[in-house]
C-alpha cells in the first residue's frame, strides 16, 4: 500500500504543473488518497480474531474496488442476540451457515451481484442495449400471457385452517356397551369412516363387542351413518351421528354349536373431539335402539336391552385437503 501511495503522489506531482495551483491540487489529491486508505470494514464483532478480520477486510475491499460505483465498506456486528451486516442502510442477518468470514464475503458478493442482475433484467436496460446494437425490439401482441405452471398447486391443496379443511376420514375406537339383566358388559373395537357432502358427513361403521365375563356373547354391527361435526370435522368441537343397520348377537354355549340372532337397530350418538393437526382424539356416547327383541333362548335366556348404551374413546384421522 505504501508503494501505491508513493506512485499516486508521483503521478499527482507530475500532472499538476507548477505554481500555487500545483500545490493545491497536490493537497486535494493527497487528502482523497488518504481518505480512501482509511476506509475499512467496520469490525464490531468480538468473534473475529485479528487474522480473520485482516482476511475479511482485504477480501471485501477487493470486491468493492472491482465495482464501477464507489461504495463504503460494510460493518460486521455481533451481539448476544445475533449477528448481522450493516451496509447501505440495510441490516443483513448472518445466520451461521458457513464460517463467519466466508459468510460475510458471500453476503457482500450476493448483494453486489444481485443489484447487477436486477439492472440487467430491467426491461429499460434491455431495450437501451438493443437500440444501441441496432436490433429490433419485440412488441407486445394483443393476446394474453399463458398461465404460470401449476408447480405450487399440491401445497395449496392443503388447508392451513380447520375451517378450510374438507373433513371426513377414518376413526378407530374402543366401545364399551352397558350390561343388560342377562348379559354382562361387552367391549370391542369400532371402525368408522365418512366423507364430507356439503355440511354433512356420509359413511359407515363396523363394530364388534365381546362380553368380559359370564356367558360368552358378542355383538356385531354393520351400519350406515349420517353425521355432523366432530370428530370428522376439525373445525367443530362437538358432533352428532345417526346410524342404522343390522346387529347380530352370537352366543357360545357349552358344546360345539352356537346361536345367533339379528335385528335392525338405530343408533343416535353425541361426539366431542380435539384435533392435533390431522389427528384427533374423540369421545362418544351412543344409544342403541333395537327395533325388535334381540334374544336367544336355550338353557337360560339371553336378552339384550331394547335401548342399550355405550361409551367410545378413539382417534380420528381427518382429511385436511381444501374444500
pLDDT tens digit sequence for 182-225: 899 999 999 999 999 989 999 999 999 999 888 889 999 999 99
Q: Is the pLDDT of residue 292 over 50?
A: yes
Q: Are strands 238-251 and 295-297 parallel, antiparallel or unpaired?
A: unpaired
Which pLDDT belongs to residue 129?
61
Find out whether the peptide bond into 245 is cis, omega within 30 degrees of 0.
no
Task: Kindly report, residue by residue over 131-146, the tens digit of the pLDDT.
Answer: 666 665 555 556 666 6
Q: How confident is the model at residue 285 (pLDDT cuts 50, 70, 90)?
A: very high
- Asked which of 29-43, 157-171, 207-221 is least confident by mean pLDDT, the reply is 29-43
What is the pTM (predicted TM-score) of this model? 0.51
The answer to whether 226 touches 201, Cβ cutoff 8 Å, is yes
- Average model confidence (pLDDT) for the chain? 80
Question: In sequence order, what are the beta bridge partners of 268?
Answer: 242, 287
For the chain, count helices (H), then strands (E).
6, 14
3-state secondary structure 233-262: CCCCCEEEEEEEEEEEEEECCCCCCCEEEE
CATH of 162-318, one of 3.40.47.10, 2.40.160.20, 3.90.1150.10, 1.10.287.610: 2.40.160.20
The residue extents of the domains of the chain are 39-121, 162-318
Which pLDDT belongs to residue 254?
58
**120 phi/psi in degrees, rounded to 5:** -70, -30
Which pLDDT belongs to residue 16?
47
Helix H or strand E encompassing 222: strand 217-229
CA dist., res. 64 & res. 71, Å (int): 7
Percent of the chain with pLDDT over 90: 40
Q: Is the pLDDT of residue 109 over 60?
A: yes
Q: How confident is the model at residue 94 (pLDDT cuts 50, 70, 90)?
A: confident
Q: Angle, to 10 degrees, between the axis of helix 123-132 and the axis of helix 100-121?
A: 60
Q: How confident is the model at residue 34 (pLDDT cuts 50, 70, 90)?
A: very low
Which pLDDT belongs to residue 277?
84
- More reliable by pLDDT, 322 or 205: 205
CA dist., res. 259 & res. 256, Å (int): 10
Of 280, 247, 262, residue with least CA distance to 170: 280
Amino acid at each position: 500500500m505504501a508503494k501505491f501511495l508513493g506512485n499516486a503522489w508521483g503521478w499527482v506531482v507530475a500532472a499538476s504543473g507548477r505554481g500555487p495551483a500545483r500545490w493545491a491540487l497536490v493537497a486535494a489529491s493527497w487528502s482523497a488518497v488518504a481518505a480512501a486508505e482509511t476506509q475499512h470494514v467496520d469490525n464490531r464483532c468480538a468473534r473475529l480474531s485479528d487474522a480473520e478480520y485482516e482476511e475479511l477486510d482485504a477480501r471485501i475491499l477487493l470486491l468493492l474496488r472491482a465495482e464501477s460505483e464507489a461504495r463504503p465498506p460494510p460493518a460486521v456486528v455481533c451481539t448476544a442476540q445475533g449477528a448481522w451486516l450493516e451496509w447501505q442502510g440495510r441490516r443483513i442477518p448472518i445466520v451461521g451457515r458457513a464460517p463467519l468470514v466466508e459468510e460475510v464475503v458471500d453476503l457482500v458478493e450476493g448483494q453486489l451481484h444481485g443489484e447487477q442482475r436486477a439492472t440487467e433484467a430491467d426491461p429499460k436496460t434491455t431495450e437501451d442495449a438493443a437500440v444501441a446494437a441496432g436490433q429490433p425490439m419485440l412488441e407486445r401482441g394483443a393476446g394474453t400471457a399463458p398461465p404460470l405452471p401449476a408447480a405450487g398447486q399440491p401445497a395449496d391443496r392443503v388447508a392451513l385452517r380447520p375451517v378450510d379443511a374438507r373433513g371426513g376420514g377414518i376413526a378407530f375406537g374402543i366401545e364399551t356397551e352397558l350390561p343388560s339383566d342377562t348379559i354382562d358388559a361387552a367391549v370391542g373395537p369400532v371402525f368408522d369412516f365418512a366423507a364430507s357432502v356439503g355440511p354433512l358427513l356420509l359413511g359407515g361403521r363396523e363394530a364388534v363387542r365381546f362380553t368380559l365375563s359370564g356367558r360368552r356373547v358378542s355383538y356385531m354391527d354393520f351400519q350406515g351413518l349420517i353425521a355432523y361435526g366432530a370428530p370428522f370435522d376439525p373445525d367443530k368441537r362437538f358432533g352428532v351421528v345417526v346410524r342404522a343397520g343390522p346387529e347380530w348377537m352370537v352366543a357360545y354355549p357349552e358344546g360345539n354349536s352356537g346361536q345367533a340372532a339379528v335385528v335392525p337397530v338405530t343408533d343416535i350418538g353425541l361426539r366431542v373431539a380435539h384435533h392435533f393437526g390431522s389427528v384427533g382424539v374423540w369421545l362418544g356416547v351412543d344409544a342403541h335402539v333395537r327395533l325388535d327383541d334381540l334374544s336367544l333362548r336355550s338353557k337360560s335366556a339371553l336378552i339384550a336391552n331394547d335401548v342399550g348404551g355405550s361409551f367410545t374413546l378413539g382417534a380420528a384421522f381427518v382429511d385436511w385437503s381444501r374444500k
